[in-house]
């Protein structure tokens, strides 16, 4: 869904040596890469390693070289497992963003908020998504982005800088290659979203949202979907009711 280049987002649908693709596609993950809803500590740790390997585009952990397996193990030790209720602010504007999050269960939203409390929602993240800051502005007190849970969430989270240092240990240019691949994807999707806003009607954008993100439409409150779509809540209600009558 809508993204800005202040944040790097990944949630790959392909797993073998491919950069991560757009989020909100948990239903397309292979079984090996799904986040199990209830598992023991060993199984949860294995899911964390699988998710990290997928985010990095490395492939299945057991197929990695010994050096990458060791690096993956070190990286996994950086993460803590946390549980949050709904509407909990994880990151706030005017505060440096210094954490990376891997969503195990739940939905969170990325947005900006004006001084008069008006909100522009850029993206929703669900199971399997990884969210972390890239640009210096986001990691400073000039940060303009907020991250808040929509539903109760369980996440793995870690300090961003040690995580980035681990990736850099994979070899010269490893971080630059990884970040560039994802930034190129974000730039493309950002321009497509802007094109849709300028050329499609609200009804057309609504139909695309329902078609491409049916599971999220069922989980996210209408007023937040309206803000993401860029329409008033009353307009969103008319679009939703109009579609229901047609079906």
Percent of the chain with pLDDT over 90: 55
- CA dist 181 and 134 (Å) reads 13
Name the pTM for this structure: 0.81
**Three-state SS for 87?**
coil
At residue 105, the pLDDT reads 94
- CA dist 30 and 53 (Å) reads 14
Flag whether pLDDT at 148 surpasses 90. Answer: yes
pLDDT digits (tens, 9 = 90+) for 182-234: 778 777 877 888 898 899 999 999 999 999 999 999 999 999 999 998 899 99
CA-closest candidate to residue 6, choices 112, 103, 90: 112
**CA 92 remoteness from chain centre:** 16
CA-closest candidate to residue 98, choices 20, 185, 7, 177: 7
**CA 122 remoteness from chain centre:** 11
Distances in whole angstroms, Cα of residue 239 to Cα of each of 101, 191, 230, 243: 33, 24, 13, 6
């Amino acid at each position: 869904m809508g993204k800005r280049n202040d944040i790097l987002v990944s949630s790959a649908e392909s797993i073998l040596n491919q950069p991560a693709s757009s989020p909100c596609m948990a239903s397309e993950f292979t079984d090996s890469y799904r986040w199990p809803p209830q598992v023991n500590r060993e199984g949860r740790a294995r899911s964390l390693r699988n998710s990290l390997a997928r985010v990095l585009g490395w492939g299945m952990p057991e197929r990695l070289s010994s050096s990458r397996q060791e690096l993956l193990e070190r990286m996994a030790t950086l993460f803590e497992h946390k549980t949050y209720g709904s509407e909990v602010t994880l990151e706030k504007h005017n505060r440096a963003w210094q954490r990376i999050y891997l969503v195990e269960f739940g939905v969170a939203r990325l947005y900006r908020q004006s001084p008069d409390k008006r909100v522009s929602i850029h993206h929703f993240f669900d199971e399997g998504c990884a969210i972390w800051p890239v640009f210096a502005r986001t990691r400073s007190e000039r940060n303009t982005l907020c991250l808040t849970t929509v539903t109760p969430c369980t996440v793995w989270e870690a300090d961003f800088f040690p995580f980035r240092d681990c990736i850099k240990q994979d070899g010269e240019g490893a971080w630059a290659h990884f970040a560039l691949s994802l930034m190129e994807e974000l730039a493309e999707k950002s321009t497509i979203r802007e094109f849709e806003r300028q050329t499609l009607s609200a009804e057309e954008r609504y139909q695309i949202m329902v078609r491409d993100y049916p599971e999220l439409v069922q989980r996210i409150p209408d007023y937040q979907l309206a803000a993401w779509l860029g329409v008033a809540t009353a307009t969103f209600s008319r679009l939703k009711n109009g579609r229901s009558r047609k079906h």
